[in-house]
Structure 1
Amino acid sequence: MERTRWVNVAILMCLFAICCGREINVKHKRHLADYNHTLATTLVEYASAVYMSDMTQLFTWTCPRCNDLTEGFEVIELIVDVQHCLQGFVGVAKDLNAIVIAFRGTQEHSIPNWIEDLHWKQLDLNYPGMPDAMVHHGFYFAYHNTTVRPGVVNAVKRAKELYGNLDIMVTGHSMGGAMAAFCGLDLTVNHETGNVQVVTFGQPRIGNAAFVSYYGELVPNTIRVTNGHDIVPHLPPYYPHFAQKTYHHFPREVWLYNIGFGSLVYTVEKVCDDSGEDPTCSRSVSGNSISEHLAYYGVKMGGESTCKVIMDPRLAAYSTEDFEGNVILSRDPFASIVKTTTEPNVPSDVI
């Protein structure tokens, strides 16, 4: 009798191990995003521009990265959370007929430490209103518990009042991509905003499989672009044998990688499956490159090795500052903005 009981226990343990060890396959009933190369190469320029530290150039859209495919963009609100080293903007791209929201990623000087920290990050926060869904507390906090979220939500509301019910495109690189994903979900769930599209670059994992399932249903029009051996999309680590507890990417991934030799090298843009963890895409290579994290589609990502920003004193009329030094610059796109071209004897303030 005792022997039979132990045999049954052993069988149950084996079944449990098999179930837990099987790699989870996240499927989605709704249609996933179709990859659009032109849109991705446009949004990557917004994800690059948001790194700029000269607020005057960024607010007036005259920065060195504020041209080419983003020319004519009208910034409505620029949010600078100095306390947490965060930055984002909201504006209208008439050529896309859309409101564009962009979030800055981690500054270059802190990337190695940030990557090392991500190797050990655990799922540590229950996402509100989603049973069993868990997320990365730091990424969640960066969007939800700073000046960024109210600034973005208010700017989107104002943009819709000015321009009507435009589509919304949210983008960001690295940690900015994580914030973009939380923003897209927030606008869809908590503010009942339709037509939300998210395109991120070099984004880390932000939640578990349960979170991914909810996210995929609610924000299906999402593309995660990964590049070669970029280390960040491999973080925090994915452990297929602990499928319910591990971090998991949401779909749809588009993996950029080079093939060929010498001068015959060209880039492949592979559209991956609907699992979020396609083993034939970026997971098929070792994620060991920081340099491939800092350039997407040939566009430089990242900025100066500081969280300080430069702002012309004449922009004071457009800015509000809280007691912690965080700044929001707002403007009416239909009103003229003060001319801010550099002139002699007009100093700039460093925040």
Structure 2
Amino acid sequence: MAIVRTFFLVWALFAPTLAAPLVPRENKAPVTPLTSAQISALTPFAWFANAAYCSHAAVMSWSCGSACSALPGVEVIATGGDNAATPDWFVAYYPAASAVVVSHQGTTTDNILSLIDDGEANLVDLDQSYFPGTSGIEVHDGFQQTFERSASAVLSAVETGISAYGASQVYVIGHSLGAAVGLLDGLYLATHISTPITTNLFGLPRVFNQAGANYIDAHALNLQHVTNDNDIVPRLPSTDFGYEHPSGEVFITQVGGSTYDACPGQENYNCAIGIFFLEDSTSPHDGPYAGVMIGADYCTA
């Protein structure tokens, strides 16, 4: 079911971009395989991403099945979203890492308002009211609008969590549409708080133009965005339409495989962009990511 829904999501939202194959980049910098410990370190982030697909009640009581069981001791600070135009999100304190965690749900494929968020794929100016001094940076219109519907509430909850728990770091996490919102959230939070931010995203679609990707690279977001083999979503919208991923890609070289490559620079041709476009698939989008499947079908509460 997850595969079928993802297929219709990609077709409905990005069919106009599929006609143009991705252009190989000049960046062919050698990759570095992650160690088993580095791969295992991704697992808690994947569980947090999965938890965002569970109901507000299950998250608030931290009784969301496998994800919550895998992350004991978490104290939820706030939840939000409407599982539609504003994807669900939560902010929590994770004592094992002394971290405030922000996690965003991905696309709800059976809700037209959620699909519209993805479908508004034209590049527009980055909103100066949220990101002053960013002239020339362009962003996916639907992703920006989605981010703006929750940004203030997320920031307030993060500030509350840092104050209440004395957190030493902030984790920003998301999958699919939630990864796109998480990328904007990480950038927004970095301009308002001094606590170090780590941004871990799964199945991230392209969000910015080249100037935006450069701007992300210049900020201390400690960004990793994990691409699962030939997953089509991180390869959309196409670079032929002005989009560009920032640095920080981690590329899983085979679905369910054990080789995770750290890919230097933007759009490294040894990683996702190097896959021939006719080999793209919707199947890997939900995972596994470091052993975890992510999506509504895998919320067990």
Q: Judge same fold: TM > 0.5, yes or no.
A: yes
Deviation at 1:299, TM superposition (A): 2.0
Percent of residue pairs identical:
28
1:179 matched residue in structure 2 = 181
Q: Is the 8 A contact 2:213 2:246 kept in 1?
A: yes
Distance 1:109 1:290, change over 3 A: farther
1:149 matched residue in structure 2 = 151
Question: Alpha carbon RMSD of aligned pairs, Å?
Answer: 2.9
- Cα-to-partner distance string for 1:13-69 (whole Å, 9 max, x where unaligned): xxxxxxxx99576x9xxxxxx99323311100000111013x222111111133343
Distance 1:230 1:257, change over 3 A: same
AA aligned opposite 1:134: E
Q: Distance in 1 between matches of 2:167 and 2:26?
A: 38
Q: 1:254 aligns to what SS in structure 2?
A: strand
Among candidates 278, 297, 319, match of residue 268 of structure 2: 278
1:289 matched residue in structure 2 = 281
Which ranges of structure 1 fall in alignment gaps of 5 or more residues? 1-20, 28-33, 240-244, 260-264, 305-309, 311-351
1:126 matched residue in structure 2 = 126
1:218 matched residue in structure 2 = 219
2:293 matched residue in structure 1 = 300
Distance 1:96 1:23, change over 3 A: same
Q: Distance in 2 between matches of 1:22 and 1:37?
A: 27
Among candidates 227, 238, 258, match of residue 254 of structure 2: 258
Distance 1:161 1:290, change over 3 A: same
Query: Does the alignment pair 1:137 with 2:141?
Result: yes
Greater helix share, 1 or 2?
A: 2
Q: Is the 8 A contact 1:107 1:302 kept in 2?
A: no
Q: Distance in 2 between matches of 1:131 and 1:80?
A: 29
- Cα-to-partner distance string for 1:328-347 (whole Å, 9 max, x where unaligned): xxxxxxxxxxxxxxxxxxxx
Q: Distance in 1 between matches of 2:85 and 2:283?
A: 25
2:13 matched residue in structure 1 = none
Q: 1:66 aligns to what SS in structure 2?
A: helix
- Cα-to-partner distance string for 1:99-128 (whole Å, 9 max, x where unaligned): 1110000024369x959x75x833123342
AA aligned opposite 2:140: H
Which ranges of structure 2 fall in alignment gaps of 5 or more residues? 1-22, 30-34
Q: Distance in 1 between matches of 2:97 and 2:207?
A: 28
Q: Distance in 1 between matches of 2:58 and 2:251?
A: 32
Q: Distance in 2 between matches of 1:203 and 1:141?
A: 17
Q: Is the 8 A contact 1:197 1:222 kept in 2?
A: yes
Q: Distance in 2 between matches of 1:200 and 1:82?
A: 19
TM-score (norm 2): 0.78
2:237 matched residue in structure 1 = 236
TM-score (norm 1): 0.67
- Cα-to-partner distance string for 1:180-206 (whole Å, 9 max, x where unaligned): 1101100112x1333011000001000
- Cα-to-partner distance string for 1:293-328 (whole Å, 9 max, x where unaligned): 012323222216xxxxx9xxxxxxxxxxxxxxxxxx
Question: How many matched pairs?
Answer: 261
Deviation at 1:217, TM superposition (A): 0.8
Q: Is the 8 A contact 2:208 2:244 kept in 1?
A: yes
Deviation at 1:235, TM superposition (A): 0.5
Q: Distance in 1 between matches of 2:84 and 2:50?
A: 21
Q: 1:57 aligns to what SS in structure 2?
A: helix
Q: Distance in 2 between matches of 1:82 and 1:106?
A: 9
- Cα-to-partner distance string for 1:186-229 (whole Å, 9 max, x where unaligned): 0112x133301100000100001111111111134100000011
Q: Distance in 2 between matches of 1:131 and 1:288?
A: 34
Moved over 6 A (4+): none
Structure index of larger Rg:
1
Distance 1:123 1:24, change over 3 A: farther
